[in-house]
Chains A and B, each alone.
Chain A
Amino acid sequence: MNRCLPLLLFAMLAIAGCQREERDTRPQSALGSGKQPTPVTVLTPGGERPSPSDNKAAAFEANAFHLSQGKRLFNWFNCSGCHANGGGGMGPALMDKKWIYGGAIESIHATIRDGRPNGMPSFRDRVPDDQIWELAAFVRSLSGNVPSSAAPGRDDDMMVHPSENRLPNAATLGKSP
């Protein structure tokens, strides 16, 4: 019995280490939209307001499953047609540090959902809301803005840039400020 105890403890520790990331494979709403509009500017006349946040943000942003789903959807919905694999083309680059309409996941979600006036189409009611969150999370991974432990690894396609979990944060490019 005494001899079994350390083994049991070790097994318990090992099993605890295998705690899997939660994967919400059945989104709540098939279609639908986020709750509130997200401002695309930091100017707020009359004094600063608390920045809007959505409780979905955290659930999607650091979640490897959602990030890798976002990567697949990025091709399926032809995001890659305009933004290439992050470098841009018809649409702006997504892997650099510049954000035209805000770089928070809520802003990116709003950009995909509502579109933007200079060419970004609106995917509202075309793409399920949770998939828009997955896309928004993946877009942030292109500029190194998600935990590298959760970002997608290399794929089997032609090498176009280092895999998302190896891309440096675009703002610092890996250098300390």
Chain B
Amino acid sequence: MKQVQQVAVKIWGACQRGYKAMARIDGRTKLGMIGWTLLAGFALVAGAVAQPAEPAIRPPAAAAPLDDGQWTMPAKNYASTRYSELAEITEDNVKTLQVAFTFSTGVNKGQEAAPLVVGDTIYIVTPFPNILYALDLARPGAPMKWKFEPNPEPAAQGVACCDVVNRGAAFSNGRIYFNTLDGHTIAVDAATGKPVWNTHIGNINIGETITMAPLIVKGKVLVGNSGGEMGVRGWIKALDAGDGHVMWTAYSTGPDAEVLIGPDFTPHYDMDKGKDLGVTSWPPDAWKIGGGNVWGWISYDPDLDLIFHGTGNPGPWNPDLRPGDNKWTSGIFARDPDTGNAKWFYQWTPHDLHDYDGINEQVLLDMTWQGKPRKVLVRPERNGYVYLLDRTTGEVLSAVPFGPVNSSKGVDLKTGRLIVNPEKETSTGKVVRNICPTASGLKDWQPSAFSPKTGLLYIPHNNLCMDEEGVEVNYIAGTPYVGMNVRMIAGPGGHRGAFTAWDVAAAKPAWILKENFPVWSGAVVTAGNVVFYGTMEGWFKAVSATTGKLLWQFKTSSGIIGQPITYRGPDGHQYVAILSGVGGWAGAIVSGDLDPRDATAALGFANVMKDLKDVTTPGGTLYVFRLP
């Protein structure tokens, strides 16, 4: 049955490609309708009979080396596939998965971090107060080896927009690197838990925090700031992994010299060409408080020697205060990791109207696109489209919505520009109803996973719409700078979340699982053809990578918004780990004990999560599973 389905998927994929090829031929040669139909029919038959081998879609080998059973960075590898070659746990035996051990982090806030496994140690970093734990996997029950408490400034909690989360640490060369909410990057000796260096790079008094997981590339720790809701100017910095000094800083707004735009900068689209667009696409001085924070995911291609990172929403949310394209917010940069110099840029959402941060994960893949081998990156974006970009140039190859979208009408592939739906444009004093997706996007930070075995990208995401009203707002340093009343509601169908397997080659969903609440957890997929993700009720689920069939689930103590990982333990067996503990923007109603009678609580998210308090409570526990 499984094979039949795989074959069916392949045939469908072949047909899709056939149709697309036909469309191209049609466009060029002006074939008549009959010819087109005949050709399409031929393609169908050919696809069904010949069953050409699926052209492999794989991450570049340099960015996704052979799996050693460890998990040293949240995205698993530089290509950000979150794919493990471990295959002891399979579609057939996953139903017997059982708890190996648990560990209480002692912090009942949103647990968004991915655990790390290096050698026989598992490392976890908690939300504020950002405690780093090392647990010994070689001993029964995984007792604590050490813990490191950085004691961040408690006042930092007051300027963290959406719960006091931390998205994980990263390991490199004997050290664990992580960020604290109050703006420190810290290197800790992985063996002893002793701090090696501590660099203060964020200022909470202007509303700056750090929640992202760093990425270590070529001896540099790459870190970006948060604060897009506080009028904080976004940046990414490279810190020397050896001693922590800042090697370069690239801002997301302002003059080219500060954005690190120089002669190497060759964006693909005309809209991104020009001098000092980070100044001229804003009202005077608005770029200084314009957001574009780098609080999400970074990928790295060693062959091209480029890092890729997104930029967050422009501030404030109320677009009346910032006419212009608001460069370089809600876009993606390719940069040279040594100098920070920008190579190209693409703006997902110019002059963002709805808080569509552009910071999601980008999965680096090599594939054949319309008959040509291309180096691409795949990006399920907050504005609702799965983008396929040529990662050498920033050219958009395709952009297809992966759920309900009415705030825009597609992407113009000639100009690269998002086609905004004027009916959903927001403004001061104007209430616009039923905008899809919401400020939290069709998909927020929650990272997807890609399996080269299935060619599918597993996307955890939201299914929400919203009403918005722009309101007046004053900039007061260190306080929110939003200017928008938001009230979220469930999207079409009434389910608030979905888990979509996206066929990258065909640019269409293979299957979709509906979830009652937004799927705010990450995903991981294995060579055993099992995909893991968690729900905000607290279910940790294993589904078939080919069909999406639910194979196993376990109810944890609190809602899950973390990133699952899988590793080979010191005993040689495969384990799966997840942090349980509800929170984040979606779960702030529980972790922050908000009152949903106010529809605008948690920037409008509480309105659609009214019943979350009835099904889960705050928590903070690591769960690790294995076969019996």
Chain B residues 582-606 with CB under 8 Å of chain A are 588, 592-603, 606
Could you say which of A2-10, A31-39, A116-124 contacts chain B?
A: A116-124
A161 to B161, CA, bound (A): 22
Tell whether B481 is near chain A: CB-to-CB under 8 Å.
yes
Tell whether B155 is near chain A: CB-to-CB under 8 Å.
yes
Question: Which of B159, B485, B487, B597 makes the CB contact (< 8 A) with A90?
Answer: B159
Chain B residues 431-479 with CB under 8 Å of chain A are 431, 467, 469, 471-474, 476, 478-479
B155 touches A119 (CB 8 A): yes
Task: For the A-B complex with A89-B601, A161-B597 known, give 8 more contacts whose Cβ atoms are closer than 8 Å.
Answer: A81-B479, A82-B158, A87-B594, A88-B595, A90-B159, A90-B229, A96-B593, A121-B479
A121 to B478, CA, bound (A): 9
What chain B residues lie within 8 Å of A158 (beta carbons)? 431, 467, 469, 485, 487
Tell whether B47 is near chain A: CB-to-CB under 8 Å.
no
Closest A residue to B468 using CB positions: A158
Question: Which of A78, A89, A90, A92 makes the CB contact (< 8 A) with B474?
Answer: A78
Question: Which of B158, B229, B469, B606 makes the CB contact (< 8 A) with A87?
Answer: B606
What chain A residues lie within 8 Å of B594 (beta carbons)? 84, 87-89, 92-93
What chain B residues lie within 8 Å of A92 (beta carbons)? 592-594
* Proximity bits, A104-122, B CB within 8 Å = 1, else 0: 0000000000010111110
Tell whether B156 is near chain A: CB-to-CB under 8 Å.
yes
What chain A residues lie within 8 Å of B602 (beta carbons)? 84, 87-89
Nearest chain B CB to A9 CB, angstrom units:
48
A-B contact pairs, 29 of them (CB 8 A): A75-B472, A81-B481, A82-B479, A84-B594, A85-B485, A85-B600, A87-B600, A87-B601, A87-B602, A88-B592, A88-B593, A88-B594, A88-B602, A89-B592, A89-B603, A90-B158, A90-B161, A90-B162, A92-B592, A95-B597, A98-B593, A115-B155, A119-B154, A119-B156, A119-B158, A120-B158, A158-B431, A158-B467, A161-B599
Tell whether A77 is near chain B: CB-to-CB under 8 Å.
yes
A53 to B617, CA, bound (A): 38
A90 touches B431 (CB 8 A): no
Closest A residue to B602 using CB positions: A89
A90 touches B469 (CB 8 A): no
Question: Which of B154, B471, B596, B598 makes the CB contact (< 8 A) with A118?
Answer: B154
Nearest chain A CB to B246 CB, angstrom units:
27
Nearest chain B CB to A18 CB, angstrom units:
33
Nearest chain A CB to B184 CB, angstrom units:
17
Closest B residue to A89 using CB positions: B602
What chain B residues lie within 8 Å of A98 (beta carbons)? 593
What chain B residues lie within 8 Å of A86 (beta carbons)? 595, 598, 601
The answer to whether residues A117 and B155 also contact, given A84-B600, A87-B595 and a CB cut-off of 8 A, is: yes
Nearest chain A CB to B48 CB, angstrom units:
54
Most B CB within 10 A of own CB, among A76, A89, A121: A89
The answer to whether residues A93 and B593 also contact, given A76-B474, A118-B155, A160-B487 and a CB cut-off of 8 A, is: yes
A interface residue count range (under 10 / 10 to 19 / 20 to 34 / 35 or more): 20 to 34
A77 touches B476 (CB 8 A): yes
A85 to B471, CA, bound (A): 12
Main secondary structure of the interface of A (DSSP, over half): loop
What chain A residues lie within 8 Å of B467 (beta carbons)? 158
What chain A residues lie within 8 Å of B159 (beta carbons)? 90, 119
B155 touches A87 (CB 8 A): no
B interface residue count range (under 10 / 10 to 19 / 20 to 34 / 35 or more): 35 or more
Tell whether A16 is near chain B: CB-to-CB under 8 Å.
no
Nearest chain B CB to A42 CB, angstrom units:
21
Nearest chain B CB to A112 CB, angstrom units:
12
Closest A residue to B605 using CB positions: A89
Closest 5 CB pairs of A and B: A119-B158, A81-B480, A87-B598, A87-B601, A93-B595
Closest B residue to A117 using CB positions: B154
* Proximity bits, A91-102, B CB within 8 Å = 1, else 0: 111011010000
B595 touches A96 (CB 8 A): yes
Tell whether B482 is near chain A: CB-to-CB under 8 Å.
yes
The answer to whether residues A118 and B157 also contact, given A75-B472, A78-B474 and a CB cut-off of 8 A, is: yes
A87 touches B481 (CB 8 A): no
Tell whether B160 is near chain A: CB-to-CB under 8 Å.
yes
A85 to B600, CA, bound (A): 6
Closest B residue to A173 using CB positions: B597
What chain B residues lie within 8 Å of A89 (beta carbons)? 162, 588, 592, 594, 601-603, 606
Question: Which of A77, A118, A157 makes the CB contact (< 8 A) with B485?
Answer: A157
A91 to B487, CA, bound (A): 18
A161 to B473, CA, bound (A): 20
Nearest chain B CB to A47 CB, angstrom units:
32
The answer to whether residues A160 and B598 also contact, given A78-B473, A78-B479, A78-B481 and a CB cut-off of 8 A, is: yes
Nearest chain A CB to B207 CB, angstrom units:
10
What chain A residues lie within 8 Å of B154 (beta carbons)? 117-119
Tell whether A14 is near chain B: CB-to-CB under 8 Å.
no
A7 to B32, CA, bound (A): 94
What chain B residues lie within 8 Å of A88 (beta carbons)? 592-595, 598, 601-602
Tell whether A13 is near chain B: CB-to-CB under 8 Å.
no
Question: Which of A75, A95, A157 makes the CB contact (< 8 A) with B469?
Answer: A157
Nearest chain B CB to A86 CB, angstrom units:
5
What chain B residues lie within 8 Å of A81 (beta carbons)? 229, 473, 479-482
Tell whether A43 is near chain B: CB-to-CB under 8 Å.
no
A121 to B487, CA, bound (A): 26
What chain A residues lie within 8 Å of B603 (beta carbons)? 84, 89
What chain B residues lie within 8 Å of A95 (beta carbons)? 595, 597-598
Tell whether A159 is near chain B: CB-to-CB under 8 Å.
yes
The answer to whether residues A93 and B601 also contact, given A119-B154, A158-B485 and a CB cut-off of 8 A, is: yes
What chain B residues lie within 8 Å of A120 (beta carbons)? 158
A77 to B481, CA, bound (A): 10
A87 touches B596 (CB 8 A): yes
A98 to B593, CA, bound (A): 10
Chain A residues 120-163 with CB under 8 Å of chain B are 120-121, 157-161
Question: Which of B155, B481, B482, B598 makes the CB contact (< 8 A) with A85?
Answer: B598
A75 touches B471 (CB 8 A): yes
Question: Which of B155, B156, B158, B482 makes the CB contact (< 8 A) with A91?
Answer: B158
A78 to B477, CA, bound (A): 10
Nearest chain A CB to B470 CB, angstrom units:
10
Chain B residues 176-195 with CB under 8 Å of chain A are none
Most A CB within 10 A of own CB, among B158, B480, B592, B597: B597
A78 to B606, CA, bound (A): 19
What chain B residues lie within 8 Å of A115 (beta carbons)? 155
A3 to B582, CA, bound (A): 76
Closest A residue to B482 using CB positions: A81
Closest B residue to A120 using CB positions: B158
Chain A residues 58-85 with CB under 8 Å of chain B are 75-78, 81-82, 84-85
Nearest chain A CB to B587 CB, angstrom units:
13
What chain A residues lie within 8 Å of B487 (beta carbons)? 158, 160
Nearest chain A CB to B272 CB, angstrom units:
31
* Proximity bits, B138-159, A CB within 8 Å = 1, else 0: 0000000000000000111111
A82 to B158, CA, bound (A): 8
Nearest chain B CB to A148 CB, angstrom units:
17
B598 touches A84 (CB 8 A): yes
